[in-house]
Amino acid sequence: MIIEFISKNPEMTKKTGTLFSKMLGRFEVALLSGELGAGKTTFIAGAASGLGIKENISSPSFAIFNVYTTRNKRKFIHADLYRLDSIDEIINTGIEDYFYDNKSIVFIEWGTKLMLWDYFKMDSVEIEFSYLNDTKRMIIFKSSSRRWDKKLEKFKAVLKKCRYLE
């Protein structure tokens, strides 16, 4: 299942992140890709706000990942693998622990780097961002499991309802 979507401004990207957060289960991994400035952090800030996180979300480039607490007392991990090149470096950050603890929601910028890792078998969703012009971004949601197919089907209906999609 694929949803191709055009965001017309940063607020729309943020709101889309908030709407997307309502689709999430208790434990999820989302892999975000796209060049710098494509809108990944903006989307994640919207998702965090939808989960009741009050802090400002900024890129955790130096920390690699930041941990927040959602309104349901779940962990929300915002990671950015931009500066990491090898799977060994990524694993050494300790982020892997959050994939398997069954209580975390993990959003990873440059997360598709993980797909090079043979052991990465999470039921994750991919979100690809691309720059169209100053204010427009293309956002593509891709699922590769029945469970995420169903969620994206629902999400598509939500986007249509608020007239974000035709």
Ligand X SMILES: Nc1ncnc2c1ncn2[C@@H]1O[C@H](COP(=O)(O)OP(=O)(O)O)[C@@H](O)[C@H]1O
- Cα torsion 1, 22, 30, 13 to 10°: value is 90
Contact status, residue 18 vs residue 43, Cβ threshold 8 Å: no
Nearer to ligand X, 27 or 45 (CB): 45
24 binds ligand X (CB under 6 A): no
At closest approach, how far in Å is the CB of 29 from Mg ion?
Answer: 17
Contact status, residue 158 vs residue 19, Cβ threshold 8 Å: yes
CB contact set of 11 (below 8 Å; sequence gap of 6+): none
Nearer to ligand X, 40 or 113 (CB): 40
- Interface mask toward Mg ion for 91-130; x: CB under 5 A: ------------------x---------------------
At closest approach, how far in Å is the CB of 101 from ligand X?
Answer: 25
- Partner interacting with residue 9 (select from ligand X, Mg ion, none; CB below 5-8 Å by kind): ligand X
Question: Of 135, 147, 157, 161, which lies in the binding site for ligand X, with binding defined by CB under 6 A?
Answer: 135
Longest CA pairwise span in the chain (Å): 43
151 binds ligand X (CB under 6 A): no
CB contact set of 8 (below 8 Å; sequence gap of 6+): 135, 136
Instruction: Tell me which residues touch Mg ion (CB under 5 A).
Output: 40-41, 59, 109
